[in-house]
Structure 1
Amino acid sequence: MAFPRAVLFDLDGTLVDSAPDFIAVINRMRADRGSDTMAMADLRPVVSKGSRAMLAAAFPDVPAGERETWVQEFLDRYEAGLGLHGNPFDGVERMLGALETHGTTWGIVTNKPEYLARKLMPVLGWESRCAVLIGGDTLPVRKPDPLPLLHAAESIGVAASDCVYVGDDERDILAARAAGMPSVVALWGYRLHEDDPFAWQGDVLVHEPRELCEAAAWPGARA
């Protein structure tokens, strides 16, 4: 069996367990506003939903308009401590190594602001390994719109149908389907308690990154 020609990944909740970085930011913001510490378990399910969802979970009694004015503070604090606590999920480095060994090009399509995603690459040692990086503000639209995935595939010279997208959120799978890309649901990532990843209709559902070290685990694996 052969590995895919190219693989694109979501970042937070798929490649990187960034929840420890985010809970550190949230709890500094809560302390500054006279609130008690928030438990990691209460924040983790919404990490893949982005900064506004995390602020909403941390400050549910604050009006949305007021929370909106805190978004830049959240991002600035996160940038200041980028990668201090978070790390790749167990098995991710092994999986990336397997892809590289078998000649698969890989890249990242995330809804995280591009400047933050790019600053994280050297922290992880991925700046020369990641072939393409598309952030949530790189293009006029972001996931679940398929354009970021299509743009990434075009950038590395691979047809969308020859590229697999891996993500832990429903919008990742919706974007892949709309782009004509096979998809992998990363069950190890972040999701709300009420989410049903089996209903997202991804091509393959995988429990741990290490499973993707085998060619046969990928959708459309070729003999």
Structure 2
Amino acid sequence: MREAYPESKKSIEYKSQIKAVMFDLDDTLIHSTIDFMKLKRKTIDFYSSLGISPDTLFPNMKTHEILQKATSMLRKKGYTPREILCIVKKTSILWNQIELENISSTCPIEGAKKTLTTLKKQSYDVGVVTRSCRRYALKVLKLTGLLEFVDVIVARDDCEKDKPDPEPLVHAMKAVGSKAEETIMIGDSITDFLCSKNAGVRFIGVLHEDDGLKNLKRNMGVETIKDLRDLIDVLT
């Protein structure tokens, strides 16, 4: 739970200007069933087949870090921008397949439906900004009963760049007509935090047991909640 403090005038003004709430998807709104370790290993194997040494890419790296490093090394090997774009598209297809493997066992995060229901009753625009593919996002949101509360979805295949680049979040804001100062982003990772920061959007992290966000909270004062339902207290 969030600790209770007397509300300042600035806090009240902040609450009143928020119009849109954007969420990360995996492990923020739903319990992800994606085998991320398999996804990373398959990605490393794919780039190894293209001549990238597997000793330079590691499963403990984030997926976007693996992709950035691999494509950088392809450029150094003389691959053209067009060739690299084609390779990245093949990578995305590989990711799509793995993301869709275990959808049937996906379930919502505790309190997700109640939180989204309350936000819609209070006339907030609700968006989902995810690094997963659109087909996956639509399927899991429908399966978990959350799709009806979502006004906009921006997935990996909707933008040229992924989080932590601000492009997906900016795209979502444009879709609902909200400005950065009228938007709040909810996520469970440093990638979500950086995306929000790069877009000039306030961020609230949902803490998990093994989470780098704890270090951000400790060292940078990043606002966090332990339960998604606590978000309503932030906004009301």
Q: TM-score, normalised by structure 2?
A: 0.64
Tell me the equivalent position of 1:14: 28
**Conserved 8 A contact 1:13-1:190:** no
What is the percentage of aligned positions where both structures have the same residue? Answer: 23
Q: 1: distance between equivalents of 2:178 and 2:210?
A: 29
Q: How far did 1:119 drift?
A: 2.1
Q: TM-score, normalised by structure 1?
A: 0.67
Superposition pairs for residues 28-177 of structure 1, below 5 Å?
49-50=62-63, 75-76=96-97, 78-82=99-103, 84-177=104-197
SS in structure 1 opposite 2:148? coil
Closer, same or farther in 2 for the Cα pair 1:124/1:14, shift >3 Å?
same
SS in structure 1 opposite 2:156? coil
Q: 2: distance between equivalents of 1:110 and 1:198?
A: 22
Query: Which is helix-richer, 1 or 2?
Result: 2
**Conserved 8 A contact 2:112-2:229:** yes
**Conserved 8 A contact 1:16-1:88:** yes
Q: 1: distance between equivalents of 2:219 and 2:28?
A: 16
Aligned pairs, number:
181
Structure 2: 5+ residue stretches without partners: 1-11, 42-58, 67-89
Q: How far did 1:157 drift?
A: 0.9
Q: 2: distance between equivalents of 1:127 and 1:151?
A: 19
Q: How far did 1:81 drift?
A: 3.3
Structure 1: 5+ residue stretches without partners: 30-45, 54-68
Render the CA deviation track for 1:190-218: whole Å, top value 9, x for unaligned: 636x962315746521111121122xx24
Q: 2: distance between equivalents of 1:91 and 1:48?
A: 30
